């Protein structure tokens, strides 16, 4: 009976590690696309705007995720003894979470166009987003409609870039607003 419990605990651990590995690979794939999706920074044609954050801004942007990752790194070690799970699963788990933390902290590229927000390698249509009622001081907080508590989408960057981005976001969310025009290359729009 103890062997069955050991096998099931290890199977659960292996499943959890595999799921985490898929999440880390998925996020890494999307982050590699940010340079191709946002090839230039600054003013874009059709009034768009693109900017890049730096490491310290990503710490500010991701502080909640970083705290939860720290707890997730420590959690398996408390459960290993109680469940007789192989410690190798905890080591692989911690290594994958460490890679995920690194991906959270690398500088990100963001872009605002008339039809989309580009963030974290993803493209979000404006009708799927809204500004949070309470805005933090050193980042922009958008919410993904229909996502509930999993909907926050913070944007990082230096204060000057965030000021320009706030004004463009207001234009993008206001369907009646006139979008400014200028001659730089824009990110691809559908």
Q: Is the pTM of this model over 0.85?
A: no
Stretch 80-98: mean pLDDT, rounded? 89
Quick check: 112 and 165 in contact, CB under 8 A? yes
Stretch 173-178: mean pLDDT, rounded? 70
Residues 6 or more apart whose Cβ sits within 8 Å of residue 97:
20, 69, 72, 73
Does the pLDDT of residue 18 top 90, yes or no?
yes
Does the pLDDT of residue 49 top 90, yes or no?
yes
* Cα gap 53→158, rounded to integer Å: 7
Per-residue pLDDT tens digits for 50-62: 999 988 888 888 8
């Amino acid at each position: 009976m103890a062997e069955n419990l050991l096998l099931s605990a290890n199977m659960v651990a292996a499943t959890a590690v595999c799921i985490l590995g898929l999440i880390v690979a998925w996020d890494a794939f999307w982050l590699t696309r940010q340079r191709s999706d946002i090839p230039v920074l600054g003013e874009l044609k059709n009034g768009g705007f693109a900017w890049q954050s730096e490491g310290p801004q990503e710490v500010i942007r991701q502080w909640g995720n970083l705290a939860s990752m720290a707890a997730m790194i420590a959690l398996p070690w408390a459960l290993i003894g109680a469940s007789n799970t192989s410690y190798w699963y905890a080591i692989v788990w911690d290594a994958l979470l460490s890679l995920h933390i690194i991906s959270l902290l690398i500088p990100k590229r963001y872009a605002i166009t008339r039809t989309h927000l580009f963030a974290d390698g993803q493209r979000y249509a404006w009708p799927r987003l809204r500004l949070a009622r309470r805005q933090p001081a050193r980042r922009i907080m958008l919410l993904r409609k229909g996502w509930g508590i999993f909907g926050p989408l913070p944007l990082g960057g230096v204060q000057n870039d965030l000021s320009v981005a706030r004004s463009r976001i207001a234009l993008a969310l206001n369907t009646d607003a006139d979008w400014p025009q200028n001659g730089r290359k824009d990110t691809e729009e559908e």
